Amino acid sequence: MYPMATLQNKGLVWLRRDLRVHDHHALRMAIKHCKAVFVCFVFDTDILSALLERGLSHDRRIDFIWQSLVEIDTELRSHGGGLIVRHGRAVDLIPKLAQELGVDHVYCNKDYEPAAIERDLAVKKQIASHKIEFSSLKDQVIFEEREVLTGSGGVFSVFTPYKNAWLKKLTPGDLDAHAVDLDSGRLEKIPSQLDTGIPSLESMGFQKTGIESYLPTGMSGASHFFEEFLHRIDQYHATRDFPAVKGPSYLSMHSRFGTISIRALVREAHTRMLAGSMGATIWLSELIWRDFYFMILANHPRLAPARSSSHPTSGHESFKADYDNIRWESGPNAEKLFKAWREGKTGYPLVDAAMHQLNSSGYMHNRLRMVVASFLVKDLGIDWRWGEQYFADHLNDFDFAANNGGWQWASSSGCDAQPYFRIFNPITQSEKFDPEGKFIRKYCPELAKLSNKVIHAPWLAGSIELEIAGIVLGKNYPHPIIDHGEARKNTLIRYAVVKKADSSASQ
């Protein structure tokens, strides 16, 4: 037991993107330092209202969160507590709930997005006026903000030296679980007048999506995917780039919402890396990229859009400032091209199949994210922010830091991005990573009868083969909306304004 003399009376743990009750920093500290602990979650209308305004009432992420909360509530009640769930502005409801419960301390795990930082500061200020303490703890990353620096004490902007410094700094203690003693007797039963249950999705303006049918939710869903992936992790390096192959971990959404801790993932990957697993080595590198993008955002908040922005390109800067001088396509033609891209009607099968996968499931294979992003920006000449916003609205695992980093990588405007002259060829990418057209056939079934040779570029098929396959270009499958060769030439011209910026390397 913990020494009673050091304990505060009551604590409140505020869950956000850490939807679990194991290996949880804030919950561990609350149970360690308070006699009685309450746990809460707020469906924050500052976030949800924007989704509803954009017509996302069937947002799979809200359904995922809701189902994950049900599991947390069940687990907490089995240990004497329960989960208090509210719907409204978190900046107002957390101070109100803290006062209603009479707590001495509010605990949460740190968030690094500018809007979240602003929200937390507002909550901290409000509860401080009532003599309530506020603690925000590191939990969703291994190293945060300025914990990994260059030899001269600066912030990295290139991934490989950051990764090397990250690995050098890592100690076993960094990966230790924040063990939570649920049997401590300190989880407090919710007062009856405050125990109003979890508001229904419908009452908040959202609908069931059926996401659990293909992506098990909550802590149990995360454990399921993690255990299954461990049987394949040693082959990850060989399978991760092929969308028709079961190569990824499928843990990205669980990592995003914290139904499993990042420490558990990194600990397993690092242990296997040391044992010589190439697959684990590559996967660990992916996890370090996650820390890298969080670090970039924390040190460059200008990358986030202004909270008042009504358009995805407003108040939203490129990491390399010179890249904001690029003149993107605009007007009706840009809207037409963007519509074809988001609806999977570009005439390039791999791009279209990837967009159909995203639109139907909320998931897109990582290799395909690079392909469709490059196509939008460097084939169609559309501002990368348009694609970034579309992904933000539709990706189950949307995380601002990683999404922004990925789109700026594809557009060459970000830190450690691909060179401006590197332009993915959607046909050769298709031939290389979906050689038998299995992925294309799944998501573009109208092309299923084409041979493996021409399925990557149907317009190159002969008229007889198209007729046998039942394809009429322009009717049941579109002509290419742009010629890749011509688009490449136009992109090199478009990017001429940033040649000097790309020629000077930075660390």
Q: Are residues 339 and 414 in the same domain?
A: yes
Confirm whether 185 is domain-assigned.
no
Q: Are residues 318 and 467 in the same domain?
A: yes
Question: Is-contact 43 151, C-beta < 8 A?
Answer: no
Q: Are residues 394 and 359 in the same domain?
A: yes
Question: Residue 15 contacts by C-beta under 8 Å, 6 or more apart in sequence?
Answer: 39, 40, 41, 72, 83, 108
CATH number for the domain spanning 359: value is: 1.10.579.10
CA 62/CA 210 separation, integer angstroms:
12
Confirm whether 193 is domain-assigned.
no
Confirm whether 353 is domain-assigned.
yes
Domain residue limits at 355: 306-501
Q: How many CB atoms lie within 10 A of CB 417?
A: 21
How many domains does one find in the chain? 3
Residue 417 has pLDDT above 80, yes or no: no
Q: Are residues 236 and 289 in the same domain?
A: yes
Question: Residue 55 contacts by C-beta under 8 Å, 6 or more apart in sequence?
Answer: none
Calculate what percentage of the chain has a pLDDT beyond 70.
95
CATH number for the domain spanning 93: value is: 3.40.50.620
Q: What is the pLDDT at residue 7?
A: 83
CA 407/CA 402 separation, integer angstroms:
9
Spatial CA neighbour of 164 closest among 178, 143, 177, 148: 148
From 299, 333, 364, the end of a domain falls on 299
Q: Are residues 134 and 146 in the same domain?
A: no
Q: Are residues 170 and 290 in the same domain?
A: yes
SS3 187: strand
Point out which residues pair with 473 in neighbouring strands: 477
CA 275/CA 280 separation, integer angstroms:
9
pLDDT in tens, 21-50: 999 999 999 999 999 999 999 999 999 999
SS3 433: helix
Q: Are residues 95 and 156 in the same domain?
A: no
- The pLDDT confidence band at residue 500, using thresholds 50, 70 and 90, is low
Residue 5 has pLDDT above 80, yes or no: no
From 256, 272, 299, the end of a domain falls on 299
Q: Are residues 295 and 314 in the same domain?
A: no
CA 92/CA 119 separation, integer angstroms:
10
Residue 371 has pLDDT above 80, yes or no: yes
Catalytic residues: 286, 289, 328, 366, 384, 407
pLDDT in tens, 205-234: 999 999 999 999 999 999 999 999 999 999
Strand-pair category, 34-44 with 133-137:
unpaired
Q: Are residues 321 and 393 in the same domain?
A: yes
Q: What is the pLDDT at residue 506?
A: 38
Confirm whether 430 is domain-assigned.
yes
- The pLDDT confidence band at residue 159, using thresholds 50, 70 and 90, is very high
CA 154/CA 440 separation, integer angstroms:
45
Q: Are residues 289 and 333 in the same domain?
A: no
CA 223/CA 226 separation, integer angstroms:
5
Confirm whether 470 is domain-assigned.
yes
DSSP line for 242-295: -TTSS-S---HHHHHHTSS-HHHHHHHHHHHHHTT-HHHHHHHHHHHHHHHHHH
From 248, 265, 299, the end of a domain falls on 299
- Tell me the one-letter amino acid at 71: E
